[in-house]
Chains A and B, each alone.
Chain A
Amino acid sequence: MAKTLKQEFTKGLWKDLPPFRLVLGLCPVLGVTTTMENGLGMGVATTFVLCGSNLLVSLLRQAIPPRVRIACFVIIIAAFVTVVELLMQAYTYPLYLKLGVFIPLIVVNCIVLGRAEAFAYKNKVSSSVADALGIGIGFTLSLSLLGSLRELLGNGSLTIWGDLSYSIIDVVPSFQPFTFATQAPGAFVCLGLMLCIINLIGK
């Protein structure tokens, strides 16, 4: 059963790729992926919390009594989320404003709690961190992908980070932005179609 660190890391990138293979943590996926930048930021924030909580849960796994483990995980995760909130306010304030309520909600993201419980509580520190990094990076990539798709369709542009942005209209002047994609119903439909595509590739 022992897997190498590399395996623990790479499984998050395809085999257990959230949210497509591991259909969890959908709220931020739907809520923040209006642009690629948002998706990327959310992904990084989640990865940070995931790594921190996995690390700490794995370190403390002997000390935490099984019956209150969920409450303990929640405390650890909540602490990390607050740290992220504070750091984001201090360094990436505009992004913090855009992500809004979804930053505190990382605390109830099933992926974070799920990995703490299903993996970190049972595995040693190095593999837990590898697992968290893999899942986190997978999540970040998925969010960015969905974000860029929706941004391209809906705004006709793609903002990588800050001022670095490209516009489709420069290339294809006749392009009409499909605003539906950036709005709420579009979020569901785009994610549903992405899932479908992943299913097709997975087959």
Chain B
Amino acid sequence: MLESILVTFSIGAVSGVALSYASKLFYVYEDPLIAKVEGLLAGANCGGCGFAGCSAAAEAIVNDKAPANACILIDEENIREIAAITGAHAGPPEPPSSYNNCSGGKRATDRFIYSGIWSCTAAAALYGGNRDCAIGCLGFGDCIRACRFNAIKMGGHGFPVVDYDKCVGCGACEASCPKTILEVKTLSQRLFHLSSAGDPLAPCSQGCPAEIDIPRYIDHIRNMRYEEALDTIREKNPMPLSCGRVCPHPCESLCRRGIADEPVSINQLKRFVADYEMNSGRRLPIACSPATGKRIAIIGGGPAGISCAYFLRRAGHHPEIFEAMPKLGGMLRYGIPEYRLPKKILDWEIQGILKLGIESHTNVRLGLDFDFCSLVAAGFDAVFFSVGAWKDYNLGIPGEELSGCMTGINFLSRVGGSKPPAIGKRAAVIGGGNTAIDCCRTLIRMGLDKVYLVYRRTRKEMPANEAEIVAAEHEGIEFVFLAAPNKIIADEEKQVAGLEYLAMELGKPDASGRHRPVPIEGSEQILAVDTVITAIGQSPLLSFRGRGNRLDDLNISRWNTFEVEPSTCQTNVPYIFAAGDAATGPALVVDAIGGGRKAARSIDLFLRGEEVNPQEDALLNKPIGESIFPSVPGVRPMGRIGLDEIDVTNRIQTFAEVDLTISERDALAESNRCLSCCRLCYNVDTH
């Protein structure tokens, strides 16, 4: 008995002392995460995972070389905890979830007939797999077998479908996939992912400045899952109601169906689901990551500011919007007339975004009502400028100061605000852009007898959207092309009495490809008008500079815009970011929204203390060459749905919305026209 106790005592003591001293003596620094993960592993060192023991497995898991569920002994609870630890390592502490990137599946063509083992890994080992598409799903379901939570099923179309309720984001599927079909990403990683050259993108998605996954939401519409469609849109664009109305849809010009047929009415479909939500009487919940406690000041509550605030909020940060005008919305409210975007719809949309927990302060102008230094003092971690482009260029002709002459933005914002300006009976709008058209169409609705649009080139050169020009023509706007305003003629009361212009002819094309107009000597003519609106372009209003603070250090371009790194939206002052018209000059609403998201991505990186680098391979709206086809076989032309609009004679009487929402039947029919394109493959018309 005694010997036994003595022997075991000494063995125990020797082991204990040897190990504890060795652990002190031979201490080697190790990533604390590895120790933490190892603490959750079974510790049986059984080798079932294929790694050399539990510590080796822990190291592999932390370094993303093994999935969180590599250990075959531990239960789901531990896997979840490990996933949480490594998830925290990879990004913010929010649950990652698997997300399927490929929508091609079975329809993708095969390069060769593969008859090997039923495994993606094995198939990929043979010339990268049998599929024509270098990035598409091979469809053997390695991910399904890898998932310990039964969260992945093979969909009917031959690509995996993730059940988000079951997914814990352990990463097993991602690790098992020889391609990058299933990516386990946190919400913010998904929101902030910029389209990149390796993504399975349809041409339309490449063309969208907001980078919306268009085929995915159209597919949701086709299946009458409108809420999911809206979720998909909102992952990239917070303002589907507004964009669904005002967006000139550059996506549609890239639509693959458009090559053989008319393009799909993508924007109308977006508007349809957005309106569906608004008319359903309830708001869809929008998921946000856990709070990070970081605060960001957003200067300017236009589309770029709202978009940036929205994405930062969804990533868990706390943006606050400072707006100089009485209400949020920027150009959406003050530049786009009621008949294109009714104010109550805009209000509803902005309200929904603010409800996520975004504070806003209106009627406060930077430099006037608050100081830049006070923002920094108030503890904001970053500042985002989305002040827009509110300063109209002057024509530089005599008479611009006359009463009855005003600038386009000034006019529109006063109409959109609460104090409409006094106008006469006949008006001339100078300029060929969207602002000019908006002014014209607003004026005609204000009951004017005659509205001229004066443009120094021809209709072909007009930068305004074609649809808008056509609508203006229908509404009776008279276009005066090849006319360069010379001076504004005053009457005795210093009121505008007419606009004198010189007739022009087109000269040789300039560097931008547009024909340069050349005035014809002695061709002066006079338009008898009592109102002149100049809308020849805008630039940001930077009056807040020059007050002796950091803002003076900002680099400003020669177009008076913020000079930013285009892919990160960061200015030369690291904590100041800018996007929207303030950085790009006047552009589309959807450009501003995309810019806001890009900026939010950089701000998120900045706030997490990481380097604000451009995303590798980011496309930034450059098309992927191989995905742009010269012809699209297998498409049967069927024409797009007609657009419902109010009859011309009625519509110019009111500011009521011109374009009406398409019906559900039309939306479903139109969504079925979508070819569900991916990078290379698409659904051909079968009937």
Contacts and interface: CB of A to CB of B under 8 A. Distances in A.
Q: Are chains A and B touching in the complex at the 8 Å CB cutoff?
A: yes
Interface of A: 1, 22-24, 66-71, 75, 110, 113-114, 117-119
B194 to A, nearest CB: 39
Contacts of B288: none
B573 interface: no
Given A22-B72, A71-B15, A114 B44 contact: yes
Contact of A71 (B19, B48, B73, B75): B19
Contacts of A110: 44, 46, 48, 73
B43 interface: yes
A113 B44 contact: yes
B73 A24 contact: yes
A81 B444 CA distance: 96
5 contacts: A22-B72, A22-B73, A24-B48, A24-B73, A68-B16
B58 to A, nearest CB: 13
B78 interface: yes
A11 B16 CA distance: 36
B6 to A, nearest CB: 16
Contacts of A114: 42, 44, 46, 73
Contacts of A1: 77
A113 B72 CA distance: 13
Interface string B21-41: 001000000000000000100
A118 B73 contact: yes
Contacts of B72: 22-24
A113 B73 CA distance: 10
Given A22-B72, A22-B73, A68-B16, A117 B48 contact: no
B74 interface: yes
Nearest to B71: A118
B12 interface: yes
Given A23-B72, A75-B12, 7 more contacts: A71-B16, A113-B43, A114-B46, A114-B73, A117-B42, A118-B42, A118-B74
Interface residues of B, number: 18
A68 B72 CA distance: 22
Contacts of A119: 75
Contacts of A118: 42, 44, 73-75, 78
Nearest to A69: B43
A179 to B, nearest CB: 31
B396 to A, nearest CB: 74
A69 B41 CA distance: 13
A66 B36 CA distance: 11
A123 B20 CA distance: 27
A24 B46 contact: yes
A20 to B, nearest CB: 13
B75 A66 contact: no
Nearest to A112: B44
Highest count of chain A CB atoms <10 Å: which of B19, B46, B48: B46
Contacts of B16: 68, 71
B12 A117 contact: no
Interface in B39-70: 39, 42-44, 46, 48
A10 to B, nearest CB: 15
A70 B19 CA distance: 12
Contacts of B78: 118
B538 to A, nearest CB: 59
Nearest 3 pairs of A and B residues by beta carbon = A110-B46, A114-B73, A114-B44
A22 B23 CA distance: 33
A113 B43 CA distance: 8
Contacts of B77: 1
B43 A117 contact: yes
A104 to B, nearest CB: 16
Contacts of A113: 42-44, 46
A110 B20 CA distance: 25
Contacts of B12: 75
Interface string B418-431: 00000000000000
Contacts of B20: 68
B279 to A, nearest CB: 42
A70 B44 CA distance: 8
A82 to B, nearest CB: 10
A68 B12 CA distance: 12
Nearest to A1: B77
Contacts of A68: 16, 19-20
Interface string B525-568: 00000000000000000000000000000000000000000000
A85 B73 CA distance: 26
A19 to B, nearest CB: 11
Given A22-B73, A71-B19, A118-B73, A66 B46 contact: no
A71 B73 CA distance: 18
A117 B41 CA distance: 8
Contacts of B39: 66
B1 to A, nearest CB: 14
Contacts of B42: 113-114, 117-118
Contacts of B73: 22, 24, 110, 114, 117-118
A110 B46 CA distance: 6
B76 to A, nearest CB: 9
B7 to A, nearest CB: 13
Interface in B606-625: none
B209 to A, nearest CB: 46
Contacts of B44: 110, 113-114, 117-118
A119 B75 CA distance: 8
Contacts of B43: 69-70, 113, 117
Interface string B218-248: 0000000000000000000000000000000
Contacts of A66: 39
Contacts of B46: 24, 110, 113-114
Nearest to A75: B12
A37 B15 CA distance: 38
Contacts of A71: 15-16, 19
B141 to A, nearest CB: 13
A167 B74 CA distance: 42
Highest count of chain A CB atoms <10 Å: which of B12, B19, B75, B78: B75
Nearest to B11: A75
A24 B12 CA distance: 28
B91 to A, nearest CB: 26
Nearest to A119: B75
B565 to A, nearest CB: 48
A67 B77 CA distance: 21
A201 B597 CA distance: 50
A44 B43 CA distance: 24
A17 to B, nearest CB: 13
A24 to B, nearest CB: 6
A126 to B, nearest CB: 17
Nearest to A70: B43
Highest count of chain A CB atoms <10 Å: which of B43, B74, B77: B43
A13 B609 CA distance: 50
A24 B47 CA distance: 10
A75 B73 CA distance: 21
A113 B44 CA distance: 6
